[in-house]
Amino acid sequence: MPQKKNINRRRFLKRAAGAAVGTIGFGLGHRSATVCHLGNISMLLGRNLKWDPEKERFPNDEQANRMLSRSMRSPWHL
């Protein structure tokens, strides 16, 4: 079992460094998670939303855009 963990760890590190290892990339994982987050935001707001995948924002919907992230605790900031 430990050997399998090491293989997965090496694959992850190679993929993170940009090597074409594995079956799916980080981009696909990001898009898959985004769809789940968008569904949750729509459910919480109780309405349909329009999504701009290029800008990763809801056009003309500041209430929904505020739900895309939350405040970071001090001392962290972007």
Q: How far apart are CA 63 and CA 47, in angstroms?
A: 12
pLDDT digits (tens, 9 = 90+) for 1-59: 456 667 878 877 877 777 665 566 667 778 888 999 999 999 999 999 999 999 999 99
pTM of the model: 0.63
Residue 5 exposure: Cα atoms within 13 Å on the Cβ side: 2
Give the angle subtended at the CA of 29 by the CAs of 37 and 73, to the nearest 5°. Answer: 55
Count of beta carbons in the 10 Å neighbourhood of residue 45: 14
